[in-house]
Structure 1
Amino acid sequence: MVSKGKLHAILFPIPHPGHINPSINFALKLALRGFVVTYVNLEFVHHQLKSKSQATEDIDIFSEARKSGLDIRHTTVSDGLPLEFNRVFHLEDYWEHMLVNFPAHADEVVGRIIHADPYLLHFLVADTFYGWSATVANKYNIANVSFWTEPALVYSLIRHSELLRENGHFPCKDNVAEEITYIPGIKTVHTKDFMPYLKESDVETTSYKLVFTAFKEESKADFVLHNTVYELESETLSGLSKYKPHYAIGPINFSKGLPTNTVSKSLNPETDCSQWLASKTPSSVLYVSFGSLVQTSKRNIEEIAYGLLLSEVKFIWVVRAGMAEDEEATVLPDGYEDEIQDKGLIVPWCNQLRVLEDPAVGGFLTHCGWNSVLESMWFGVPMICYPVDYDQPTNRKLVIDDWQIGINLCDGTSLERKEIADKIRFLMDRSVSKDINENATSVKEKMRSAVEIDGSSERNFNQFIRDLRAKIDSTGTTK
């Protein structure tokens, strides 16, 4: 296919669901605006999608989009490891490998894509956490777009790490508890809200190396796109815009007019919860899920399990393989599923959007992954926050302190079932959590307004397209 002069996005997502989902929808959004898009999936992710669907032939998540006339292409690249390698249980080893070995694979596939169609005006869109994007973009003389899939607050804390260092807060000593008010665009943030990789105990971890390798490259990006809403993080985004163009274009998964994929983006088989929910009264069910990646202790899982029972609130709990830190451990306490009877529904995985939009669901006990937070806000569902790692403690700060649409699961350092039950009863009793529910409704309205044709996210996306075209036109090349 020859498409002379058309802009062509070469898009690389990080291979975890919280990054894959917004990347797929961003690819569709670009294609709807007339861009050619090549979505570069990792081979093991593509294999998981095929295995889950039990397809006998190859699958294509963009087949429906192409039928509707969009020029969106799909290719795969190896991460250099065998398909059977368990990337979740060996996450640290996996990302150590990716830091060292994946840049060469990415370089090779970008070069191959560019040389296959030299008439297109290519540019790179890579998840910000990839630490090779600027080097590869410079090598091929193409524009470099950084796609940030977490809140702007997290981005800003990393971006201002040297300012934190100058003030003695990076790496932050683990026992320091201080309020910080000197970061541009951030009115106040407490050290307890820091991501773990900003703490002293994490400086030798792979997460630390991954983040700060990536942000050395990020400083050379031409544009930064944020999967957030301007009205919710306006001061932080304004503080960042003095460095380079930053555009809040979220929540990208809820952009208007995106084609429907007949192939599910989920990497796990899903249980249909609709029939169970249909028998429940409005706002009576607590949805519980800790995402696809994080792990916690057997003790914490047991306290949550019996806290749910003590609360006497109906619940759906996603209990996936690998949720406990011990790879071989049975996740739930012995006999637990017999104890719950009709009080709850335990599933290995489900369609989270369908659950959250169901009128029976009145609360979400969440690990505070950013995708989960955005989805809960979109449906106006208040949250009980149990952050475990990565950006989650900082996302909790936004949910509870800034937007006041949730509460903490525990107020101390350890989980206790009675306290868990009390927190669940508080949130699910709409007469006592009235303010939180009203705030959740207000945030929902702001998010939905942002993606309307005249909303802030659509305006920002249009401005990004204009600025990208202007940059390419002004240089006469894709760089």
Structure 2
Amino acid sequence: MESQPQELNEIHVIVIPYPIQGHINPMLQFSKQLASRGLKVTLATTPAFSSKFVHSEQSNSISIETISDGSTLTETANTKNVDAYIKRFDLIAPRSLTQLIETKIQLGHNIKCIIYDSSIPWALDVARQFGVFGASFFTQSCLVSLIFYQVYEGVLRVPIEGPWRGVFTNDTPLLIEAREMPSFVYEVGLYPALEKLVINQFTNYGQADWRFFNTFDHLECEVINWMQSICTVKTIGPCIPSKYLDNRIPDDNDYGLSLFQPETDACIQWLDARQSGSVVYISMGSMASLGDKQMEEIARALLKSNKFFLWVVRASEENKIPPNFKEETSEKGLIVNWCPQLEVLSHPALGCFVTHCGWNSILEAISLGVPMVAFPQWTDQPTNAKCVTDLWKIGVKVRKNEGGLVTREEIELCILEVMEGDKSNEIKSNAKKWKNLAKETMEKGGSTSRNIEEFVAKLQN
């Protein structure tokens, strides 16, 4: 009798992220960690993303498969009609995922587990249909997850009006004001489908075989301990490329997915010509869209600060840059449509990161020891910003005026405070501390490394 091909004997897991780049990247990185430990991994995503993956040697053990969401090649969950997209995704994607798994099984693949984005709890029903394990993956912080969980359970009533202390003790005081909570529980009704999406992460929370969180124990110890009192959770973060943490995976210096083309050579060559710690880096991520007036205030603040700056302005936002600003600042600044963020954050010339406080950007900055100016926009970002400033003390947060605008004076003040102000040394020292702790958790024997290895061992037994 002929033996089966080696790949059919391998333990196989299916990974399905929500089709947003900020959700795909950490789950792809976790997939690489699993593949490096001997598992066969298939990442299932939608047509808009499946064609965007960049082949690299370390991803050979990860196959990319397309599942249908009823969309065209260019439609994603980022589109304006997000409510319609979510409804269509929840209707079509379960059937398509089921068909993919049926095909794999018919071909003899040894599928043991479906790892699914917590935003798509129906994937656990698919796992049960095939008699395999189901593992929920949370792409936001554990603190934000706790808030959404308490809203789901009715412990917190929305819209939240007063301050919330949560699970923090007198040793770690953290009073979170209403405006510092995730926008979905503070400004209820603006995005009903998204609100339902984040709250319903917990519909079958206790039924999953594993609950993975993209964070690490030291960073959110009290919140993690509280969540452990409900159900066992496993921290498996920071989920960023291996080069910047444990070097376990050869040549893993990028996620391998990007919707935008980074201007790598221009950015790195420009940074190479700057002194250590002299550059302000500004990026509002892949989704945030600032108003014309706010963009002008950022531009004028950069001009007034007299600091070197690297500013990421997506092509769709370029028309909001003040006229002649590029020419006025050509000796001080570089404006690009997209950049290789990890390479920028790890560059010695960098001194400060002005960020929208998306969770992936926060973890990248923490892992690379970069001080921050928190400039949150919506979703979980206000809560992440609160942690940056008041819990981890690795940055300062901008304040809006009565009209909801962050003025040029405020932005300049925050940049200078982080770069050279009275708090600068403390902020930089704390950033270095968290960088070391992030690296420690991923290295052999660290808590994240142990959690991943225990999961793999369970599947292999």
**TM-score between the two structures when normalised by the length of structure 1:** 0.86
2:451 maps to 1:448: no
Residues 14 and 127 in structure 1, CA contact (< 8 A), matched pair in contact too: yes
Residues 135 and 217 in structure 1, CA contact (< 8 A), matched pair in contact too: no
Q: State how 1:307-456 maps to structure 2 within 5 Å.
A: 307-323=301-317, 330-410=319-399, 412=401, 413-429=404-420, 432-456=423-447
DSSP 3-state at the match of 1:158: helix
Residues 149 and 199 in structure 2, CA contact (< 8 A), matched pair in contact too: no
Report Cα offsets for 1:102-161 as digits up to 9, x if no partner. Answer: 22222322332233225x142101111113212111211111011112211111111222
Unaligned runs of at least 5 residues, structure 2: none
Q: State how 1:63-462 maps to structure 2 within 5 Å.
A: 63-66=57-60, 71-85=61-75, 87-90=77-80, 92=82, 93-117=84-108, 120-162=110-152, 165-166=154-155, 169-173=156-160, 176-181=161-166, 188-190=174-176, 191-202=178-189, 205-255=192-242, 256=246, 257-260=248-251, 264-272=256-264, 273-323=267-317, 330-410=319-399, 412=401, 413-429=404-420, 432-462=423-453
DSSP 3-state at the match of 2:315: coil
Residues 223 and 244 in structure 1, CA contact (< 8 A), matched pair in contact too: no
Unaligned runs of at least 5 residues, structure 1: 50-59, 324-328, 474-479
2:69 maps to 1:61: no
What is the CA-CA distance between 1:218 and the residue it aligns to? Answer: 3.2
Residues 159 and 186 in structure 2, CA contact (< 8 A), matched pair in contact too: yes
Q: What's the % identity of the aligned pairs?
A: 30
Which of residues 37, 47, 60 is equivalent to 1:33? Answer: 37
> What is the rounded CA distance, in whole Å, between the counterparts of 2:77 and 2:221 in structure 1?
36
What is the CA-CA distance between 1:353 and the residue it aligns to? Answer: 0.8
> What is the rounded CA distance, in whole Å, between the counterparts of 1:280 and 1:3 in structure 2?
48
> What is the rounded CA distance, in whole Å, between the counterparts of 1:20 and 1:282 in structure 2?
33
- Residue 162 to residue 20, structure 1, CA distance change in 2 (3 Å): closer
Residues 215 and 237 in structure 2, CA contact (< 8 A), matched pair in contact too: yes
What is the CA-CA distance between 1:7 and the residue it aligns to? Answer: 2.4
- Residue 31 to residue 64, structure 1, CA distance change in 2 (3 Å): closer
Residues 14 and 111 in structure 2, CA contact (< 8 A), matched pair in contact too: no
Report Cα offsets for 1:82-104 as digits up to 9, x if no partner. Answer: 11446534252433432333222
Residues 62 and 74 in structure 1, CA contact (< 8 A), matched pair in contact too: no
> What is the rounded CA distance, in whole Å, between the counterparts of 1:221 and 1:86 in structure 2?
27
Residues 193 and 397 in structure 1, CA contact (< 8 A), matched pair in contact too: yes
> Aligned pairs, how many?
445
- Residue 461 to residue 193, structure 1, CA distance change in 2 (3 Å): same
Which of residues 11, 17, 21 is equivalent to 1:17? Answer: 21
**TM-score between the two structures when normalised by the length of structure 2:** 0.89
> What is the rounded CA distance, in whole Å, between the counterparts of 1:77 and 1:147 in structure 2?
19
- Residue 64 to residue 258, structure 1, CA distance change in 2 (3 Å): closer
Letter in 2 for 1:131: P
> What is the rounded CA distance, in whole Å, between the counterparts of 1:384 and 1:396 in structure 2?
9
Partner of 1:476: none
DSSP 3-state at the match of 1:266: coil
Report Cα offsets for 1:406-454 as digits up to 9, x if no partner. Answer: 1012254421111111111111116651111111111111111111112
Residues 281 and 309 in structure 2, CA contact (< 8 A), matched pair in contact too: yes
What is the CA-CA distance between 1:2 and the residue it aligns to? Answer: 5.3
> What is the rounded CA distance, in whole Å, between the counterparts of 1:196 and 1:210 in structure 2?
13
Partner of 1:477: none
What is the CA-CA distance between 1:364 and the residue it aligns to? Answer: 0.1
> What is the rounded CA distance, in whole Å, between the counterparts of 1:170 and 1:399 in structure 2?
25
Residues 270 and 350 in structure 1, CA contact (< 8 A), matched pair in contact too: yes
Residues 147 and 225 in structure 1, CA contact (< 8 A), matched pair in contact too: yes
